[in-house]
A and B are shown apart, each in its own frame.
Chain A
């Protein structure tokens, strides 16, 4: 126990030099945890919103359905199998039919995905009930991003064209009955929602669908020939990958921060070893082995990390707690960030994140502290006492 005791004494005795390093390192701690928490919050929020509004508890896709390949949509529809129809009847699933089409807002051409959904469904948070109108109207629901890009608003009428199951083009004027404000771009950008039954008739796809969304918590996964079940791991992989990419981009910031802190510690260690050779000689004269001197100096450096963690906890915990409760009001530009975030981002600071960051910084600090001390391994006590390096 003597080495930790001496290391702490030496470290605290060094005064301002120690505290400067500790403050820089604690800043690195807090910023890394803060930004990582933002990305974790972003991930959690995006996942939750996507599940609530679009993905449910998973989806059955008609085997040719591929949302990333618009050319596949022409054939990506089939009659809903009985097994899935039973789930739909029991309100544990809802069918969606996807047809490629075009809108002509104010004389411009705007390619869209026309999506038919049951106006009575309650599995998704999508406000489909606005589509419940009389037969005399042809209601359409769009999202705010779509409204912005097309210039459409509630009450506007716009021509919509599509190609039916027989390859025939047809067109109708639809009325925008609601502009929904959603944070999930995948149900908004380039999408027009209309009643499922109407789309089935217009497209000549009676009883058909392109996908069936299963309710959250519904555990049954019935066999559905010609349909493939996609679980949430699959459906959320894009979001996760996007967050990972953005998170990796932030690694540059961490790298710079850690580099600065480590440079300060490395510099302190090198200076220490250069300036404290007589002290090392004295320690050896009193019976310290070279190994003990190395351990002492390494621990002194590594303790910077421990002190930094304590200091970071002192101001970081109140700050991060306050920040996590208050959230971060995102600028409008963040809407094009690529996935659902919402107006306010609430960071998530998990225990794993804090522990992993702390361990990472402590390990790097220890390595950086150890590297300069290797010179001590060759140090002769007589040279050290004379203030020379062997």
Chain B
């Protein structure tokens, strides 16, 4: 069953040269992710969460070992193939939102669709649906600078989901948000996971996020220290 998992890593190693030394960011990580998972990579700073997320997102390649994402070996992808994989199948949510400052909210959310050559009418419909979904349809004409942190992250979520990707990778999505906004964002993502079956993988050390996870993978010094299923504790976030 080579490709039955959405993501599979085998003996994944990532090292960085640091002067004469080598920093081991990931040390033989073996993980499997199924479709529609709501999983968090947790651990202290420098434990390898973001590095693993970057490799899964084909933004980086492993030093050794293998990462298979949607049937494609990340280490074997050319720059163009990796771009195409991200373009079609992966959505990203960043800690600092990374909204394009000169674009309006609508244009930011519309952006991934422009890359996929949707028609103008389709783009408009899908963009407004995504904005509606995160509750920001009325701010479509605003610029990112006019939004609060919570609203900015909701725009970033709308941008990540607008093309309905199979996988969304979120790197510390709540790190810059207060508790109320964090919960709002997480509920939004949980709903998306439930309604559309989108797989979410978070990198976080925020306790608020951890409460929502159905699977928690703890990384320590680049290795998997613990891999826990948490469905019993938080079935779909319905307690909240």
Contacts and interface: CB of A to CB of B under 8 A. Distances in A.
Given A287-B88, A385-B94, A282 B79 contact: no
A125 interface: no
Nearest to A281: B98
A2 B60 contact: no
A208 to B, nearest CB: 81
A286 B80 contact: no
Contacts of B88: 287
A286 B111 contact: yes
B114 A382 contact: no
Interface in A278-296: 278-279, 281-282, 284-290
A10 interface: yes
Nearest to A287: B87
Contacts of A381: 54, 59-60
Given A286-B111, A382-B54, A13 B101 contact: yes
B98 A282 contact: yes
A9 interface: yes
B57 interface: yes
Interface in B121-142: none
A287 B86 contact: yes
Given A2-B114, A282-B94, A282-B100, A382 B79 contact: no
Contacts of A385: 59, 94, 98
Interface of A is mostly: helix
A283 to B, nearest CB: 8
Contacts of A6: 114
Given A380-B60, A382-B54, A287 B103 contact: no
B220 interface: no
A8 to B, nearest CB: 11
Contact of A285 (B59, B79, B80, B107): B59
Residue of B54, B94, B98 with most chain A CB atoms under a 10 A cut-off:
B98
A278 B98 contact: yes
Interface in A235-290: 278-279, 281-282, 284-290
B18 interface: no
Given A2-B114, A10-B102, A279-B100, A286 B59 contact: no
A14 B94 contact: no
Nearest to B54: A382
Residue of B57, B59, B60 with most chain A CB atoms under a 10 A cut-off:
B59
Given A282-B98, A285-B57, A285-B59, A9 B80 contact: no
B92 interface: yes
Interface residues of B, number: 24
Contacts of B232: none
A344 interface: no
A293 to B, nearest CB: 10
Contacts of B100: 279, 282
Nearest to A286: B112
User: Which size bracket describes the interface of A in this complex?
Assistant: 20 to 34
Interface in B86-106: 86-88, 92, 94, 96, 98, 100-103
A380 B115 CA distance: 20
Contacts of B6: none
Interface in B19-61: 54, 57, 59-60
A5 interface: yes
B230 interface: no
Nearest to B93: A285
A286 B86 contact: yes
A4 B125 CA distance: 23
A281 B98 CA distance: 9
A232 to B, nearest CB: 57
B146 interface: no
Contact of B79 (A9, A12, A281, A290): A290
B176 interface: no
A5 to B, nearest CB: 7
Contact of B83 (A2, A13, A281, A288): A288
B139 to A, nearest CB: 17
Nearest to A10: B102
A289 B94 contact: no
B84 interface: yes
Contacts of B57: 285
B83 A289 contact: yes
Nearest to A387: B96
Interface in A353-382: 380-382
A289 B101 CA distance: 20
Nearest to B112: A286
Contacts of A279: 98, 100-101
B102 A286 contact: no
B75 to A, nearest CB: 15
A13 B96 contact: no
Contacts of A281: 98
A13 B115 contact: no
Interface string A1-30: 010011001101110000000000000000
18 contacts: A2-B114, A2-B115, A9-B102, A279-B98, A279-B100, A282-B92, A282-B98, A282-B100, A284-B83, A285-B86, A285-B94, A286-B86, A286-B92, A286-B115, A287-B112, A289-B83, A290-B79, A382-B59
7 smallest CB-CB distances across A and B, nearest first, come from A13-B102, A287-B87, A381-B59, A282-B98, A285-B92, A289-B83, A382-B60
Given A282-B98, A385-B94, 17 more contacts: A2-B114, A9-B102, A9-B103, A13-B103, A14-B102, A278-B96, A279-B100, A282-B94, A285-B59, A285-B86, A287-B83, A287-B84, A287-B88, A289-B83, A381-B60, A382-B60, A385-B98
